Structure 1
């Protein structure tokens, strides 16, 4: 894991290196780069995978006091990372809240991005998404210290597996989710950042509705991948996203909830690899559903 100093503070990221096509993978709220360990293990044989741990509640370094921790601000941080690393023709992949960040970057032009993958993510009016999102937004009203105490419950597997926590997000990834909450439990500065993030998001719940208005203008290949058993991100949103994007198509993944990188990592890596190859060969037009 590497660390880079950006305008808001230090950000950790994984960079597998190499000369292959660049894939940048974004995680969701209360998650870190390890969400993508499975797909990266498969993709890194012939792709350069860059996976930041964004300041979304499982990060390791507190952000500066004046950091913009709105979702547009964090999307801007992704753009800043791409600039600092001078990454071009990027395949930008987002799951859960990471997919929301991808949509915000698409709406802003995404100059360094050659193609996108939206994998079971927040979209349209599903923000906050599901019981997990609504519970977090309510908890974000607490003072940071009280929020940290509230989140201590996440030490217990029985709590993590509840629908209000990670229970409806992943079928088989509890060991990873247990690690994600540790910074929040042990570092007061991470609790402070997370409360700021949640309050900023709760103040603008129409954000993705507005972003969707710009999606028909995204003129590059786009792949929408959705878990067939997703109970948090509605399947009809997958179809709407694919229909809005001029070069979009939809693929469903069986036996998966929202966090496809945990539930079906090999299948997700296969789909990303095929999509990158097809689009680079100029075959990523708008096929039939």
Structure 2
């Protein structure tokens, strides 16, 4: 579960599938963050303070993607089910004029959401995300297939205790260019290591990952009226620049900005620059 005090006060909201833990700080137009697989709200710990200072209410949930602390045993954890869960979160807190900021797997869920339940969303930031055929990216495709096998998630989480394994492509080696602090690695990895119920959530998510969901969302991109900021690192090892360029071609109001010296985890590698880009984007597309 997320632990960084920079994220603000920890809160919980009860949704139809169970409780979601989130952090909140700041006031103003809401920014809701959507992280990816095997991370949690701590991913945004260096982005949230700057956005709050710029006049935003920042809400950073721990989505049930394997690094959360509250199991959701009855939840639909397919990509569409998770997109609906995010929509229900927005409804439950009565959020309007929302900026969604997504990274990695969270970007796939956000694309489904913005083509399925866009009514509370005003603008979207897609920062190095799964999309089109790349959901999940290699080398994680094989890992997710294996995760559905009995005992596989437990074995993987035990292996990730080793720093050597954490540095491999199946760990942090291909997602973060710069070192992730050990306490943050623990925040990401310990929940699935310590809780059988969290591992069960992770297995159910893994079983449902299918690029049919992202391709179906992409088929509706032409109808998306929201402004979209696509932020991409040219060095990304999982998501080639061709994907970013394709998103910008297909989304009618999308703009592409590249960020150097980063891999997929832009909020880890380049949080200050990502924050500046989000602030500029929200001001450019502020509600009248």
Q: TM-score, normalised by structure 2?
A: 0.92
Q: Deviations over 1:253-284 (max 9, x none)?
A: 010100100000000000000000001177xx
- In the alignment, is the contact (CA less than 8 A) between 1:160 and 1:174 conserved in 2? no
2:145 counterpart of 1:138: yes
Q: CA deviation at 1:173?
A: 4.2
Q: CA deviation at 1:3?
A: 1.2
- In the alignment, is the contact (CA less than 8 A) between 2:35 and 2:43 conserved in 1? yes
2:82 counterpart of 1:103: no
Aligned residue number for residue 78 of structure 2: 70
Alpha-carbon separation, structure 1, partners of 2:256 and 2:156: 38
Alpha-carbon separation, structure 1, partners of 2:152 and 2:230: 38
Structure 2 unmatched runs, 5+ = 1-9
Aligned residue number for residue 207 of structure 2: 199
Alpha-carbon separation, structure 2, partners of 1:281 and 1:44: 17
Q: Deviations over 1:17-54 (max 9, x none)?
A: 41x22111110011100100111021111211111110
- In the alignment, is the contact (CA less than 8 A) between 2:103 and 2:128 conserved in 1? yes
Alpha-carbon separation, structure 1, partners of 2:78 and 2:129: 17
Aligned residue number for residue 59 of structure 2: 50
- In the alignment, is the contact (CA less than 8 A) between 1:154 and 1:178 conserved in 2? no
Alpha-carbon separation, structure 2, partners of 1:91 and 1:254: 24
Alpha-carbon separation, structure 1, partners of 2:270 and 2:66: 24
Alpha-carbon separation, structure 1, partners of 2:222 and 2:128: 19
Aligned 1:18-57 pairs, distance under 5 A = 18=27, 20-45=28-53, 46-57=55-66
Which structure 1 residue ranges, 4+ long, deviate > 3 Å from structure 2?
none
Name which of structure 1's ranges 164-173 and 133-142 shifts more when overlaid on structure 2. 133-142
Aligned residue number for residue 12 of structure 2: 3
Aligned CA RMSD, in angstroms, stands at: 1.3
Alpha-carbon separation, structure 2, partners of 1:77 and 1:54: 9
- In the alignment, is the contact (CA less than 8 A) between 1:227 and 1:256 conserved in 2? yes
Q: Secondary structure at the match of 1:123?
A: coil
Aligned residue number for residue 242 of structure 1: 248
Q: Deviations over 1:47-80 (max 9, x none)?
A: 111111100011101113x310101111111100
Alpha-carbon separation, structure 2, partners of 1:239 and 1:2: 38
Alpha-carbon separation, structure 1, partners of 2:17 and 2:244: 33
Q: Secondary structure at the match of 1:249?
A: strand
Aligned residue number for residue 267 of structure 1: 273
Alpha-carbon separation, structure 2, partners of 1:162 and 1:193: 24
- In the alignment, is the contact (CA less than 8 A) between 1:22 and 1:90 conserved in 2? yes
- In the alignment, is the contact (CA less than 8 A) between 2:126 and 2:230 conserved in 1? yes
Aligned residue number for residue 6 of structure 2: none
Q: CA deviation at 1:150?
A: 2.8
Aligned residue number for residue 189 of structure 1: 197
Q: Secondary structure at the match of 2:211?
A: coil
Q: TM-score, normalised by structure 1?
A: 0.92
- In the alignment, is the contact (CA less than 8 A) between 1:23 and 1:91 conserved in 2? yes
- In the alignment, is the contact (CA less than 8 A) between 2:66 and 2:201 conserved in 1? yes
Q: CA deviation at 1:174?
A: 2.6
Aligned residue number for residue 179 of structure 1: 187
- In the alignment, is the contact (CA less than 8 A) between 1:120 and 1:260 conserved in 2? yes
Alpha-carbon separation, structure 2, partners of 1:84 and 1:118: 23
